[in-house]
Amino acid sequence: MKAALEWQIAMGADEAIAEEAIDRYAVETPAPKAKAAAVVIHQVEEVDGVAVARAAAEAASDLAGLEAAMAAFEHCDLKAGARQLVFADGQPRARVMIVGEAPGRDEDLQGKPFVGRAGQLLDLMFQQIGLSRETPDAEAGLYITNVLPWRPPQNRDPEAAEMAMMMPFLRRHVELVDPEIIVAMGNHACDALLGKKGITKLRGNWSEALGKPVLPMFHPAYLLRNPAAKREAWADLLSLKARLRGDP
C-alpha cells in the first residue's frame, strides 16, 4: 500500500481519492445563472455622527460620564490613529476654562492637554496673573480642554467636519464645568466656538459663546514661533485678570 501511494504521488496525484468515482471525461454543465430578482443588495446606512454625539453628550450627567461617552464614541476617524483620549486637566471648579484646538504628540502620549513646550509656556503665562491648573483653589484655578480629544495625524489642522462632530461634547463640557470665562486659545478654537477665523484680529476682543464671555488669545505654539506677539498676549492676560476682578 505504501508503494502504491508513493507511485500515485510520483504520477502527480495531490488529492485524496474520493469515495465515488469521478468521470473526468464528462462534459460539465454550467451552473445556472442566478436570477437578478434573487440578488439582494445590502446598503450600508450612513450614520449621522453629530446626532450620535449630541445624544451621547446630553446623556452625560457629570464629567466622568462625559469622558466615558467620548471614549466610547466610534464615529470620529481620529480615534483610530490616536493613542488615547485627551479629555481635560486642571480644576473643574475653576472660574476660567481654556479651550485649545487638539492634542499634539506629547498630549497624545500623556493623555493630558497642553503638556508639551506650548503647554509649559501656557502654564507660565497664566501663573503671571495668579492662575494655575495645579491649585485646588477654584478662585485661582484653571480648567483646560480641547475642541478635539484625539490627535490629528502629523499634528495637521483640525477639519471642519471633525470639529462639528465633537462640538456637542464640548458644549456639554462647558455646561458641566460652568466656568465664568472661556479662553479660546488659537484660531481653530475661535472657529469652533465663535464661528470666526483670523486670530490676529480676534485676539483681545471679548465675545460670547455657549452663554459665556469668551476671550480669544494667541495659541502658545504661535508665541513660540513668533516671540514678538508675546506683547499682545500679555495685554490679553491683563484684560482677563481685570475681568476676573470685576473691573469695568
CATH number of the domain within which 233 lies: 3.40.470.10
In a domain, 69, yes or no: yes
| Greatest distance between any 2 Cα atoms in the chain | 105
Q: How many domains does the chain have?
A: 1
More reliable by pLDDT, 116 or 3? 116
Mean pLDDT of the chain: 90
In a domain, 146, yes or no: yes
Cα–Cα nearest to 95, from 131, 146, 145, 149: 131
In a domain, 25, yes or no: no
Q: Output the pLDDT for position 20.
A: 64
Sheet holding 96-100, edge to edge: 89-90, 142-146, 96-100, 181-185, 212-217, 207-209
Can you tell me the mean pLDDT for 191-203? 96
In a domain, 191, yes or no: yes
In a domain, 134, yes or no: yes
In a domain, 82, yes or no: yes
Q: Output the pLDDT for position 6.
A: 76
More reliable by pLDDT, 47 or 85? 85
Residue with cell 509656556: 121
Can you tell me the mean pLDDT for 136-153? 97
Q: Output the pLDDT for position 3.
A: 82
Q: Output the pLDDT for position 40.
A: 47
pLDDT in tens, 13-71: 666 655 666 666 666 655 555 555 444 445 556 779 999 999 999 999 999 999 999 99
Backbone angles phi, psi at 197, to 5 degrees: -120, 170
In a domain, 14, yes or no: no
Provide the residue range defining the domain that includes 177.
Answer: 49-245
In a domain, 2, yes or no: no
Over 60: is that where the pLDDT of 96 sits? Answer: yes
Over 70: is that where the pLDDT of 200 sits? Answer: yes
Of the chain, the percentage scoring pLDDT greater than 90 comes to 79
For residue 184, the SS3 value is strand
Distance of alpha carbon 92 from its chain centroid, rounded?
20
pLDDT in tens, 206-233: 999 999 999 999 999 999 999 999 999 9
